[in-house]
């Protein structure tokens, strides 16, 4: 892909508008405040050890064997049961993005695009990280359909209804009550609102926004969620459903690096800006196989591939989310 520069034609010069505001991005970032993400200090510590993945060995549950009555026979020893192990593997991701600015842009526009881009870094990386999380969830679901009989997926084949959340939660049987957040596309939210099924509760902040809920689930509308041939995928999630770990970028360039090119723009000068992040998103109960990754780190498209994931949890009840697929007009 060819380099792209923010040029005079990309800005509004004062001859037309005296002042203009930086266009805020309209994508939802609410999933970051809904309690779905959490950090694991153990993984953060392992990140400093190098490698493309992070190994997380763990123990399986003790199982559901019935307890046994005791007796007074010294020769009758109770049979020992072993405690199984499982190996989870998280995918390390070191990501970057870059922007270019011609000096003449700031002179004629009367505003500094570099400063605005710096100010927008937090929200940009929130959106980029969210897409990485969505791709990871897609990959886990793709593997589940391919290798685990799709026991994490409710595919209705029709528009969303008032029973879908119940049916999806009960994919985990008696653990259905663990789900707290429904992350859905705005078209799915619209259909539930039209059916008068969405309630609103005030946030903890006085005078804060009202939070949409459905049957006790916090509803988060997000148009970045997957759409394929009019099929919309939403996610019913437990609290702390996704581990999100991040390390400071400690290389020479750091998390935000600038480079001046004084001869470009025919001497007018340009500034290049590169942002970097070092993160590990992980769904508990899964293993990143790294089976279909072209580079050192997986792209979002590669994170969404079934070939790169395997479920290590012994039961679907141990998984932290399920998917709901509906068809919206």
**pLDDT for the residue 58:** 65
Is the per-residue pLDDT at 15 higher than 90? Answer: no
Report residue 18's pLDDT band, with 50, 70 and 90 as the boundaries.
Answer: very low
pLDDT of residue 197: 93
How large is the average pLDDT for residues 225-238?
94
pLDDT > 70: percent of the chain: 88
Which pLDDT does position 114 carry in this prediction? 86
Per-residue pLDDT, averaged over 260-289, amounts to 91
Q: What is the pLDDT of residues 117-137, one digit of tens each?
A: 888 888 899 899 999 999 999
Range in 43-47, 52-56, 136-140, 294-298 with the lowest mean pLDDT: 43-47
Task: Flag whether pLDDT at 61 surpasses 80.
Answer: no
> What is the rounded distance in angstroms from the CA atom of residue 45 to the CA atom of residue 94?
16
Per residue in 68-97, pLDDT (tens digit) is: 888 888 898 888 887 766 678 888 888 999
Tell me how crowded residue 298 is: count the other CB atoms within 10 A of its CB: 25
pLDDT of residue 85: 64
Residue 238 has pLDDT above 60, yes or no: yes
The string of pLDDT tens digits covering residues 146-205 is 999 999 999 999 999 999 999 999 999 999 999 999 999 999 999 999 999 999 988 765
**How far, in Å, CA of 277 to CA of 103, rounded?**
26
């Amino acid at each position: 892909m060819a380099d792209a520069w923010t040029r005079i034609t990309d800005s509004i010069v004062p001859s037309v508008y005296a002042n203009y505001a930086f266009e805020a991005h309209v994508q939802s970032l609410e999933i970051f405040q809904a309690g779905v993400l959490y950090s694991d200090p153990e993984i953060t510590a392992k990140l400093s050890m190098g490698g493309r993945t992070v190994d997380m060995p763990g123990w399986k549950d003790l199982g559901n064997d019935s307890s046994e009555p005791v007796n007074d026979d010294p020769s009758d020893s109770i049979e020992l049961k072993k405690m199984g192990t499982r190996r989870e593997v998280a995918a390390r991701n070191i990501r970057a993005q870059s922007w270019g600015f011609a000096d003449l842009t700031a002179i004629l526009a009367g505003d500094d695009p570099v400063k605005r881009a710096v100010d927008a870094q937090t929200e940009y990386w929130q959106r980029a990280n969210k897409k990485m999380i969505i791709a990871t969830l897609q990959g886990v679901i793709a593997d589940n359909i391919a290798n685990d009989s799709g026991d994490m997926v409710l595919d209705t084949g029709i528009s969303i209804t008032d029973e879908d959340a119940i049916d999806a939660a009960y994919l985990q049987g008696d653990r259905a009550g663990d789900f707290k957040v429904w992350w859905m596309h705005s078209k799915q939210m619209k259909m539930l609102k039209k059916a008068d099924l969405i309630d609103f509760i005030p946030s903890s902040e006085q005078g804060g926004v009202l939070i949409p809920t459905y049957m006790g689930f916090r509803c988060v509308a997000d148009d970045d969620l997957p759409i394929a041939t009019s099929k919309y995928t939403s996610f019913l999630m437990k609290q702390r459903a996704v581990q999100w770990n991040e390390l400071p970028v400690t290389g020479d360039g750091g998390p935000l690096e600038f480079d001046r090119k004084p001869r470009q723009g025919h001497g007018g000068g340009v500034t290049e800006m590169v942002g970097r992040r070092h993160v590990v998103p992980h769904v508990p109960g899964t293993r990143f196989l790294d089976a279909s990754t072209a580079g050192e780190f997986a792209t979002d498209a590669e994170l969404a591939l079934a070939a790169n994931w395997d479920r290590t949890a012994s039961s679907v009840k141990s998984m932290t989310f399920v998917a709901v697929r509906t068809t919206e007009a």
